[in-house]
Amino acid sequence: MTYTKQVIQETLRLYPPAWAILREAEEAVDMLGDHFPANSSFLISPYAIHRNEQMFEDAAVFRPERFADGSSQWPRFAYFPFGGGARGCIGSQFALMEAGLILAVLARRFRFVSAPGQGEAQPEPLVSLRIKNGRWMIPQRRS
C-alpha cells in the first residue's frame, strides 16, 4: 500500500481537485514589495505551485517515488491538493483512504491503458479540476 499511496499523492500533485483557492486577508499584508489592504482577495493555485520547478524537481514528470519520504520534505503548503490550515478539506483523509483502497483492488486485477486516439489529457478547471471530455481507459486483466 506504500507505493499505492505515493501514486495517489503524485496524481494529486499534478491534478489537485482544488486547482484554485480563494482567500481574503483579515489584516493588511506586505508581500514581495507590495502592500495589500485588509480584506484583499488572493487566488492561490495548488495546480501552479505543484508544477513549480523550484518546489518539485522535474515537476512535469509523473514520479510517485518523490513521495517516498513523505511530503514533509518540502516547505509547508508546497503540496496541498485539498487546501490547508483551518480551511482545508474536511474529507481529505477519507478521500485518500478511499482512493487507496480502490486503486489497490483494481490495480491488483487489471492494468489500465488509455484508449487510443484521445491525445494528451487536457485539464479542465471547473469547480474542481477534471480532464476535459473525461478519459477512456481499457482494463486489461492481469495474469
Question: Does the annotation place 89 within a ligand binding site?
Answer: yes
The pLDDT of residue 15: 93
The pLDDT of residue 73: 85
Q: Each residue of 53-112: pLDDT tens digit?
A: 999 999 999 999 999 987 778 988 899 999 888 888 899 999 999 999 999 999 999 999
pLDDT at 41 over 90: yes
Domains plus CATH for the chain? 2-141 (1.10.630.10)
Average pLDDT for 5-34: 94
CB 124 within 8 A of CB 132: yes
Amino acid residing at 129: L
The mean predicted confidence, pLDDT, of the chain is: 93
DSSP letters along the chain, please? Answer: -HHHHHHHHHHHHHS-S---EEEE-SS-EEETTEEE-TT-EEEE-HHHHHT-TTTSTTTTS--GGGGTT-STTS-TTSS-BTB-GGGS-TTHHHHHHHHHHHHHHHHHHEEEEEPTT--S--EEESSSEEETT---EEEEE--
Instruction: Please tell me the pTM assigned to this model.
Output: 0.85
Residue with cell 499511496: 5
Residue with cell 518540502: 74
Beta pairing class for 129-131 and 123-125: antiparallel
Query: 138 — alpha (psi -120 to 50), left (phi > 0) or beta?
Result: beta
Percent of the chain with pLDDT over 90: 78
Dihedral, CA atoms, 114, 115, 117, 120, nearest 10 degrees? Answer: -20
Closest to 57 (Cα-Cα) out of 43, 78, 76: 78
Please classify residue 31 by burial: count the beta carbons closer than 10 Å to its beta carbon, then call 0-12 exposed, 13-18 middle and 19+ buried.
exposed
